[in-house]
């Protein structure tokens, strides 16, 4: 029988703006100590100030950050406003890093809706999503738009963490995600979650829990 604990846990965090997603991700990153390296794409400067990290602006910075186990990429200086090119380049670099050694690599992409839609996903990100088992890569993704998720992401997600959602499209999309997880939960319950509170399901174990980050 397979040991589910050995499965890479791709984590998908959904919730409206201000609901607690980034706070959850930060706590998750700080709690998981057995990690070869954490990779963060932070073009919006949402994470590194809160985590008190120094962002990397160049390939040289990125390579040097590996030894600290915290690698945050701020692409503005190297790529200007071309976030798309920056993101693809970074995914490729992370993939390459993941092939270099053993140990868990946590790959964090905030606001995933900016990089993929239901119909399209950068190939480099799809590769990372599929790399889990072989390269020990775990994705930690958050989005306020669960209706704009690509099947290569939802198909690979083992943990679904749901903060408050309000829009009709988002609630409908998240309802479909639960159904796929075999979970029964009403839209009303998600729409009435207090900010900072979440419901989470593990797709592999079938386990669920509720909690709060603030």
DSSP-assigned letters across all residues of 9-55 = --EEEE--TTSSHHHHHHHHHHH----SEEEEE-TT-SSHHHHT-PP
Annotate each residue in 102-141 with x if it binds ligand ATP (CB under 6 A) or - if it does not, as one string: ----------------------------------------
SS3 state at 88: helix
Q: Evaluate whether 47 touches 195 at the Cβ level (below 8 Å).
A: no
- The tokens for 45 are 């400067």
Provide the minimum distance between the beta carbon of 166 and ligand ATP in the complex, in angstroms, as a whole number.
Answer: 12
Provide the minimum distance between the beta carbon of 51 and Mg ion in the complex, in angstroms, as a whole number.
Answer: 13
Residue among 13 and 171 whose Cβ is closer to Mg ion: 13
Residue among 18 and 151 whose Cβ is closer to ligand ATP: 18
Among 18, 101, 206, 207, binds ligand ATP (CB under 6 A): 18
Element (H, E) at 91: helix 83-98
Among 10, 21, 108, 156, binds ligand ATP (CB under 6 A): 21
Order the strands of the 137-143 sheet from edge to edge. 70-73, 37-41, 105-109, 137-143, 11-14, 159-162, 197-202, 208-212
Residue among 16 and 171 whose Cβ is closer to Mg ion: 16
* Residues 187, 175: Cα–Cα separation, whole Å: 7
19 binds ligand ATP (CB under 6 A): yes
11 binds ligand ATP (CB under 6 A): no
Rounded to 5 degrees, what angle do the CA atoms 105, 28, 95 make? Answer: 20
203 binds ligand ATP (CB under 6 A): no
The footprint of ligand ATP on this chain (CB under 6 A) covers a number of residues equal to 11
- The tokens for 43 are 């073009």
Provide the minimum distance between the beta carbon of 68 and ligand ATP in the complex, in angstroms, as a whole number.
Answer: 20
Sign of the torsion angle spanned by Cα atoms 150, 162, 25, 38? negative
164 binds Mg ion (CB under 5 A): no
Q: Which stretch binds ligand ATP (CB under 6 A): 13-21, 28-36, 59-67, 172-180?
A: 13-21
194 binds ligand ATP (CB under 6 A): no
CA 183 to chain centre: 21
Contact residues for ligand ATP (CB under 6 A)? 15, 17-23, 46, 50, 144
């Amino acid at each position: 029988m397979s040991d589910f604990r050995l499965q890479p846990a791709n984590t998908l965090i959904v919730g409206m703006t201000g609901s607690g997603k980034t706070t959850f991700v930060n706590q998750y990153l700080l709690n998981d100590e057995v990690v070869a390296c954490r990779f963060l794409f932070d073009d919006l400067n949402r994470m590194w100030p809160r985590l008190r990290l120094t962002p990397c602006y160049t390939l040289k910075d990125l390579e040097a950050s590996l030894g600290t186990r915290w690698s945050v990429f701020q692409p503005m200086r190297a790529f200007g406003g071309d976030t798309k090119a920056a993101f693809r380049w970074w995914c490729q670099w992370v993939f390459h890093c993941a092939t270099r050694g053993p140990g868990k690599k946590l790959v964090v992409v905030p606001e995933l809706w900016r990089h993929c839609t239901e119909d399209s996903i950068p190939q480099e990100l799809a590769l990372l999503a599929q790399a889990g088992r072989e390269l020990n890569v775990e994705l930690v993704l958050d989005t306020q738009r669960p209706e704009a998720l690509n099947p290569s992401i939802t198909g690979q997600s083992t943990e679904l963490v749901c903060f408050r959602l309000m829009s009709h499209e988002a609630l409908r999309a998240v309802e479909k995600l639960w159904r796929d997880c075999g979970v029964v939960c009403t839209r009303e319950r998600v729409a009435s979650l207090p900010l900072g509170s979440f419901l989470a399901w593990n797709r592999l174990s079938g386990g669920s829990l509720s909690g709060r980050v603030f």
